[in-house]
Amino acid sequence: MTELTNLGVRAIRDGVAAGDFTAREVAEAFNANVAAAADLNAFVIATPEKAIEAAEKVDADRAAGKPLGSMAGVPIGMKDLFATRGVQTTAASHILESFVPEYESTVSQKLWDAGAGMLGKLNMDQFAMGSSNETSYFSNVISPWRRNDGGNAPLAPGGSSGGSSAAVAARLCPAATGTDTGGSIRQPAAFTGITGIKPTYGRCSRWGIVAFASSLDQAGPMARDVTDCAIMLGAMAGFDPKDSTSLDLPVPDWAGSLDSDLRGKKVGIPREYRMDGMDAEIARSWDDGVAWLKDAGAEVVEISLPHTKYALPAYYIIAPAEASSNLARYDGVRYGLRDLPQGANLQDMYAATRAAGFGDEVKRRILIGTYVLSAGFYDAYYTQAMKVRTLIRNDFEKAFEECDVILAPTAPSAAFALGEKVDDPISMYLNDVFAVPASLAGLPAMSVPAGLSSAGLPLGLQIIGKAFDEQGVLNAGLAIEQRAGFTAQPEKWW
Amino acid sequence: MSSYRIHGTTGEWEVVIGLEVHAQVTSNAKLFSGASTEFGSEPNANVSLVDAAMPGMLPVPNRECIRQAVRTGMAIEAQINKWSRFDRKNYFYADLPQGYQISQLYHPLVGEGQLEISPDEKNPDQTKIIGIERIHVEQDAGKLMHDQHPTMSYVDLNRSGVALMEIVSRPDMRSPAEAGAYVRKLRSILRYVGSCDGNMEEGSMRADVNVSVRKPGGELGTRTETKNVNSVRFVMAAIEHEARRQVDVLEEGGTIVQETRLFDPGTGTTRSMRSKEEAHDYRYFPDPDLLPLELDDAFLEECRASLPELPDAKRKRYIEVLGLSAYNAGVLTAEVDTARWFEALLAETAAAQGKAEAHVAKQAANWLISEFFGALNKVGRSLEDSPVSHAQAAELLALIGKGTISATIGKQVLETMFETGDNAAAIVEREGLTQQSDSGAIEAAVDAVLAANGDKVEQYKAGKEALFGFFVGQTMKAMQGKANPQVVNEVLKAKLG
Amino acid sequence: MSVDRKTVAKIASLARIKMDEEELDRMVPEFNNIIAFVEQLGEVDTSGVEPMTAVIPQALRLRDDVVDADPLTGGNVREKVLANAPLAEHGFFAVPKVIE
């Protein structure tokens, strides 16, 4: 049965529909892989019974001749940021360790409605704050990839959706949900040789997703290829009246409209992304991408995004500011951890609970966010950052007058070793330097595998599209995928 | 207008008052969730996952709450901001599940407006304009119960997320009476508009009272804010006490600390709030879960079109069109329920008499205020729970208006109506109270009275005209009050020459 | 601008995160590194630029005034609301006694 776990979303769905195998067989195969991969620490909790239950329903529906959903029979991993009714939802934090929601997030519900089943809740950076998965309370995820230097140094799967990326790359699930606030889908996808797309802000409902930074958070799929991402995104997206920022637009048939013929399309290459001291392998991979897109018929033009340099500092004001407020609800009163020292009053209880419940990176960001919003500093930091955010969006708008999509690297390097950057927050933040601008502008962006570094590690290319133009992004991604011929897989060591 | 002054040992002090009134918006559901706003439910029954601030929950604003705030703004002639937005006010407290209150600091829904008040009830024409700085919409907090457990406080989130309007006045008031008049007038307008029920005792309207003192005409002093004062009387008492306290502190060489205080209705005093002592830094910033609130012309037009006639306009109309006295017009328009009752009475009695409203308005107003309110008072009731409906009252009034019964008999009938709940016509019929206008019977009665009082007739004819009333009274008495007084007058005049 | 230890301690208190001396020692330089990093933004000329209000321009939708229209955002779910409470008594959340 092991070959079933080599199949992606479309192959599983079509195979189940055709009767080549049952959904239950698929679920069992992936459950077995999950159970055998404890070394990767990709899951906070496995839910094999949920996967089986969903699969049996699909098999029964098929037997009864009922119509099957777009994800029917596909077991997936669910990032532990999505509230799942009756299943612990921790955001990889001690403060939510005991939390079992009484509700289901809109996005996960849509996936179950489309016939998907849940293999388990995926590990991640605590409250989605991190780029290496080292901020999880439940210990870091280890990438299934290893450098080809024989050193076997454990590598970061990227973050914050590192459980998702590791699990998909290691064939523990054919696809997983991710969330992307400043690169948290794209960077881990790039680090692990898989594909992931962050849609336009508002495409996927945020209702029931533990909030990090509300104006930036977007859910998206992480899967093995562009087609699988298109199928899964179609199941996740859609208007939700419970989310004020949800886009009231029909969901296009992205998967059905995939087309890698880019004739007549213009691809923009942002001058400012070619930074001093850029990793030569990253630069080469970017050049490969340019050549592939030209080969697909696109015209390549140079564009300028003049405020690129300021995206990361703006992000590290806006995201912590929103987070400092969004995370105020974790106070030990209504759910989650409560630390009530002997004789403590209410405010002492808050301070003790939050000290015990939040990890260092979360605390760091809450403090930064609290500081930049505090009296006397608000305008200098927050208002200035929101003005810069306007400039960054304007940069993109202007650039998109000259091109249809933008091609850039996803991350400035291949995966780094665990522990390598953990003591230097700024160098960790710099990992998202190419990912953050699209987040600040709310634009759809995806990462597709583009090849291997000399150390044998995957490199990703990023495609950024116009608002609402996920199709353009997916099409360009498909063109790259077809030409990159990326078939590498991590060698199983776990 | 005489100025209100605190007399201190160093001379006179002027009081400067501004009010922030929190008014619960009349709506079925909460501001950002679908939970009910019903008062008095089981603890935490009217709480949604959104109100409890469960992880991943998001706010979606209730149109009706926005609409009511806009209508309120229009009623105080305020600027309505077509572009506004919600901000988060961040602080930690057990009644605040999100750790922030969604409010509006930077771009409120309603801008500057004003209110005209009459601080002296006996002198309704003496008015003062009080500026209103803004109205914004925000979430109410939950409730803490401190006395149910020795070491614990209990949290009930039923009120958490209910929509409030915060109506912020300018520091334009200078006496407790002005502040009282302001709260009464504001409450009246809210009730007219229907945007708040104004029930202060249930907490659906409460005031934060900002008070400072200064030497008349001097620099503004440091103010204190007394929170959640929940009656007009308490607002006035809190100001009186707080102004006196501040004067005492200053005159003893102390300084006023800008702080939050609590009013104790039992003692009529204010005290510093320990729990709010910590430095405030609310870190306001635009709520990233919500987009800017943009109102279109159609929405505003509907809000405007749905506004009722407001108390000032109504009062003016009562005086100018219905011909009521300024006093009566003031009494009848002060509360929307009174005005509604009066207008129903007026319409029904005019119809019953086949006359235009303007023709019977004065009679109806006088009768309502002097007779009917008096009767209500006697039984300790108000119009709301009046045992006699306006339809019943209109019937009685028509009987008087048409001359079927006299005004005097009318009083008697009203009394019976209060006692029995019967209709006026039935009582008049049953008790044979119909007024006699038959000049024959009246002439006979007059003749008898004049014959029995020959001496008084002489005195009258000699010029003591005040005796006319005596003859009227005697005639009426003889006819058990049922004689038509007009006919009695005519007959007497004729007979006495 | 460098942020001193006292300020970081004050911010931690405002954010209700208890920090001991050792944690503060670690936090102060990290905090300053990050603040120094974000202060690059001061270089940008933003005169005449409006702060962003909505990343994807769209109007705020308003909900109808209907109670419990959607069970996911309606009331009468006390069991669900209290299900995860660290301490709930008689239908209330319980917290250490507050003195007002």
Mean of pLDDT over chain B = 93
Q: Which of B277, B303, B329 is the last residue of a domain?
A: B303
Give the one of B29, B146, B275 whose C-beta lies nearest to C65's C-beta.
Answer: B29
pLDDT(A317) > 60: yes
Q: Are B330 and B315 in contact (CB under 8 A)?
A: yes
Q: Which two tokens stand for residue B349?
A: 């009695």
Answer whether residue B287 shows pLDDT above 80. Answer: yes
Is A184 annotated as catalytic? yes
Please indicate, yes or no, whether residues B215 and B324 belong to a single structural domain of this protein: no
pLDDT at B182: 97
B413 in the same domain as B457: no
Residue A160 falls in the annotated catalytic set: yes
pLDDT tens digits for A122-146? 999 999 999 999 999 999 999 999 9
* 8 Å CB contact of B52 and C66: no
- Cβ contact A435:A187 at 8 Å: yes
Give CA–CA dist B385/A127, Å, rounded.
57
Report whether pLDDT(B492) > 60. Answer: yes
Around Cβ A348, how many Cβ atoms within 10 Å? 16
Residue B1 has pLDDT above 60, yes or no: no
Q: Which B positions 123-152 lie with beta carbon below 8 A of chain C? A: 144-146, 148-152
- Average predicted confidence (pLDDT) for chain A: 97
**How many Cα neighbours within 13 Å face the side chain of A12?**
38
Residue ranges of domains in chain C, CATH in brackets = 5-42 (1.10.20)
* pLDDT score recorded for residue B276: 52
What is the rounded distance in angstroms from the CA atom of residue C28 to the CA atom of residue C6? Answer: 9
Q: What is the mean pLDDT of residues A167-172?
A: 98
Write phi, then psi, for B71 (nearest 5 degrees). -65, -40
Q: Indicate whether B325 and B423 sit together in one domain.
A: yes
- The answer to whether the complex's ipTM is over 0.95 is yes
Rounded to 5°, the CA angle A248-A254-A256 comes to 135
Contact A267, A293 (CB under 8 A): yes
Give yes or no: residues B291 and B343 share one domain: no
| A387 close to B (CB below 8 A) | no
pLDDT (0 to 100) of residue B25: 98
- Quote the CA–CA distance of C43 and C32 in Å, as a whole number: 18
- Whether residue B29 sits in one domain with residue B161: yes
To the nearest whole percent, how much of chain B has pLDDT over 70? 98
The token duo for B423 is 């209709």
**pLDDT tens digit sequence for B254-268:** 999 999 999 999 998
Q: Does residue B465 lie in a domain region?
A: yes
Paired sense of beta strands A299-303 and A266-270, if any = parallel
Write out the two tokens for A17. Answer: 């529909």
pLDDT tens track for A370-379 = 999 999 999 9
Nearest CA distance, B71 vs chain A (angstrom): 24
Does B310 fall in a domain? no
pLDDT value, residue B278: 58
Contact B99, B69 (CB under 8 A): no
Query: Residues B110-133: what's their mean pLDDT?
Result: 91
In a domain, B74, yes or no: yes
Q: How far is B388 from chain A (nearest CA, A)?
A: 49
| % residues pLDDT > 90 (chain A) | 96
Residue B88 pLDDT > 90, yes or no?
Answer: yes
Interface residues of B toward A, Cβ cutoff 8 Å, are 49, 52-61, 88, 90, 92-94, 97-100, 153, 155, 278, 281, 283-285, 288-291
Q: What is the mean pLDDT of residues B461-483?
A: 86
Check which CATH number belongs to the domain holding B491 and give it.
1.10.10.410
Chain B contact set for C80 (CB, 8 A): 49
Chain C residue with minimum CA distance to A375: C11
- Is position B314 within any domain? no
Is A418 a residue whose pLDDT tops 70? yes
Question: What pLDDT score does B462 carry?
Answer: 87
pLDDT of residue B124: 75
Task: Report how far apart, in Å, the C-alpha atoms of C52 and of each of A383, A430, B13, C47, C60 are.
Answer: 9, 23, 48, 14, 15
Are the CB atoms for B72 and B90 separated by under 8 Å? no
Q: Is the pLDDT of residue A103 over 60?
A: yes
Q: Please give the Cα distance from A162 to A191 (Å, whole number).
A: 9
Every domain of chain A and the residues it spans: 1-494
Would the CB atoms of B43 and C89 count as touching at under 8 Å?
A: no
Question: Which region among A101-105, A218-222, B234-238, B480-484 has the lowest average model confidence (pLDDT)?
Answer: B480-484
Pairwise CA distance, residues A317 & B239, whole Å: 43
Q: Which domain holds residue B444?
A: 439-496
The number of C-alpha atoms within 13 Å of A427 and in the hemisphere containing its C-beta is: 8
Gap between the Cα atoms of A142 and A144, Å rounded: 6
The tokens for A51 are: 């996967």
Tell me: pLDDT of A425 over 90. Answer: no
Q: Answer positive or negative: Cα dihedral of A7, A8, A12, A18.
A: negative
**Considering only CA atoms, which of B221, B288, B179 is closest in space to residue A440?**
B288
Residue A275 pLDDT grade (very low, low, confident, very high; cuts 50, 70, 90): confident
Interface mutation target, options B27, B39, B49, chain C, most CBs of C under 10 Å: B49
The C residues from 21 to 40 touching B (CB cutoff 8 Å) are none
CATH superfamily of A1-494: Amidase signature (AS) domain (3.90.1300.10)
Q: Are residues B423 and B444 in the same domain?
A: no
pLDDT band at B430, cuts 50/70/90? confident
Give C73 to chain A, closest Cα distance, Å: 8
- The residues pairing with A78 across neighbouring beta strands, listed in sequence order, are A121
Say yes or no: B274 and B192 in one domain: yes
Q: Are residues B427 and B369 in the same domain?
A: yes
For residue A150, give every residue at least 6 positions away whose Cβ sits within 8 Å of its Cβ, in sequence order, or none. none
Read off the pLDDT band of A104 (50, 70, 90): very high
Where do the H-state alpha helices sit in A340-423? 346-357, 360-373, 378, 384-399
Does the distance separating the beta carbons of B146 and C97 come in below 8 Å? yes
- Asked if B81 has any chain C CB less than 8 Å from its own CB, the reply is no
How far apart, in whole angstroms, are the C-alpha atoms of residue A195 and residue A188?
Answer: 9
Residue B223 shares a structural domain with residue B360: no
Query: Could you say which of A136, A143, A184, A447 is catalytic?
Result: A184
pLDDT at B274: 61
Tell me the pLDDT of chain C averaged across its residues. 95
pLDDT at B267: 92
> Comparing A84 with B491, which gets the higher pLDDT?
A84
Do B398 and B463 fall into the same domain?
Answer: no
CB B85 within 8 A of CB B106: yes
Q: Is residue B308 part of a domain?
A: no
Domain count, chain B: 3
Nearest to B56 among A207, A213, A325 (CB): A207
pLDDT of residue B277 exceeding 90, the answer is no
In the prediction, which pLDDT does A1 show? Answer: 43
Q: Tell me what pLDDT residue B384 has.
A: 87
Asked if B286 and B348 sit in the same domain, the reply is: no
User: One of A108, A136, A143, A160 is an active-site residue; which one?
Assistant: A160
Bridge partners, C95 (sequence order) = B153
As a whole number of angstroms, the distance between CA C40 and CA A312 comes to 10
Residue B321 C-beta-side C-alpha neighbours within 13 Å: 8
Mean pLDDT for the stretch of residues A433-448:
98
- Give percent above pLDDT 90 in chain B: 74
Residues B127 and B42 in one domain: yes
CA dist., res. A101 & res. A90, Å (int): 10
